[in-house]
């Protein structure tokens, strides 16, 4: 029996990371502590998180050759520059199937300029999409959503993905297309609507939420997409948000058709709400709860923390589904 597959359709960026004690003031030149480059993009980060976290507990997290309980596939695009090959190699080194990553001639690889304040670990990011905007609806093969044989001579059948993960660093029309095709073919989707979409005609269409299995978003994204303000809690990082307001936001998305809503609240933790397979906040099976975050002595860097959470959640969902099938 083939292992379940998580397919991530999203962005691949080269991260240009500067660490500094503080941000410079306008017109000020400040000597930074360090500079480094790395592989990033929300799609890439989530794919690597899925691949690392789906290995057996006895395996090294960064060992791409270790046996995995889940196959992780990445669909995206890089430019034909010095960064593109490095990103593909990074995916493969971490155990991600990168055969669906295209190299686009004449395009630059997406890039993210990241400034990290050392005292707080908080980051600020400037994103240049580059080749990521070449991931159009025609880039996504219909075969992705269908079951069938891998090759004529092979007996083992290819299963549909157990889960497709999407973010908003590729064209919005592609996200909408994948959601519709996945829904039509019974493939579950996890949507992480980040970066927060613009309002108005360029915003996220409401029909994206209809039948959506999993929605993971932070406070900013939740407020923008629901239209409901989320007043900040007291200054203490351990102080919870108004749970009634969090419930209202989740109910908004349930009413649009989302089954499971996960609100990530930074250092405070996570608020979750599930309609139990239904698509309305009035469902008698509606369940919810708050999970406080684990306290750490010092926050080093929050870059990709949300993407790592998405990967961990996705792996847990798929593995729990496999257990239910076997049971």
- Give me the active site residues, please: 307
Task: Name the burial class of residue 153, with classes exposed (0-12), middle (13-18) and buried (19+) by CB atoms within 10 angstroms of its CB.
Answer: exposed
Helix, strand, or coil here: 48? helix
CB 197 within 8 A of CB 215: no
For tokens 């509606």, name the residue: 286
CB 277 within 8 A of CB 212: no
Helix, strand, or coil here: 51? helix
Give the whole-angstrom CA distance, residue 224 versus residue 202.
13
Q: Rounded to an integer, what is the distance from CA 59 to the centroid of its chain? A: 24
| DSSP track, 89-139 | HHHHHTT-EEEEEEEETT-PPEEEEEEEETTT--EEEEEE-GGGGG--GGG
Give the whole-angstrom CA distance, residue 225 versus residue 239.
24
Angle between helical axes of 42-53 and 305-326 (0-180°, round to 10): 40
Q: Is the dihedral of CA 274, 279, 280, 284 positive or negative?
A: negative
Picking from 165, 169, 179, 192, the residue whose alpha carbon sits closest to that of residue 318 is 165
Give the whole-angstrom CA distance, residue 13 versus residue 48.
13
């Amino acid at each position: 029996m083939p292992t379940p597959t998580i397919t991530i359709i999203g962005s691949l960026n080269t991260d240009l990371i500067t660490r500094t004690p503080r941000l410079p003031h306008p017109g000020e030149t400040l000597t930074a502590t360090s500079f480094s480059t790395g592989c990033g993009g929300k799609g890439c980060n989530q794919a690597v998180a899925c691949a690392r976290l789906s290995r057996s507990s006895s395996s090294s997290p960064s060992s791409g050759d270790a046996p995995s309980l889940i196959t992780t596939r990445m669909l995206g695009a890089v430019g034909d520059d010095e960064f593109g090959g490095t990103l593909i190699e990074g995916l493969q080194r971490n155990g991600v199937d990168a055969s669906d990553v295209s190299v686009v001639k004449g395009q630059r690889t997406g890039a993210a300029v990241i400034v990290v304040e050392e005292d707080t670990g908080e980051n600020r990011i400037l994103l240049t999409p580059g080749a990521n905007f070449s991931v159009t609806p025609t880039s996504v093969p219909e075969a992705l959503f269908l079951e069938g044989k891998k090759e004529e001579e092979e007996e083992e059948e290819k299963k549909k993905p157990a889960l497709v993960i999407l973010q908003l660093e590729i064209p919005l029309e592609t996200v909408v297309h994948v959601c519709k095709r996945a829904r039509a073919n019974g493939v579950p989707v996890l949507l992480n609507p980040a970066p927060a979409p613009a309002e108005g005609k360029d915003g996220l269409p409401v029909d994206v939420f209809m039948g959506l299995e999993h929605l993971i978003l932070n406070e900013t994204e939740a407020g923008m997409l629901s239209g409901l303000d989320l007043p900040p809690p007291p200054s203490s990082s351990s102080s919870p948000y108004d749970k009634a307001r969090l419930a209202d936001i989740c109910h908004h998305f349930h009413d649009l058709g989302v089954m499971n809503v996960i609100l990530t609240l930074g250092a405070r933790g996570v608020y979750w709400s599930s309609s139990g397979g239904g698509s309305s906040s009035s469902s008698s099976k509606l369940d919810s709860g708050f999970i406080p975050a684990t306290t750490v002595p010092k926050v080093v860097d929050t870059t990709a923390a949300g993407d790592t959470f998405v990967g961990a959640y996705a792996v847990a969902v798929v593995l729990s589904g496999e257990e239910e099938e076997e049971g």
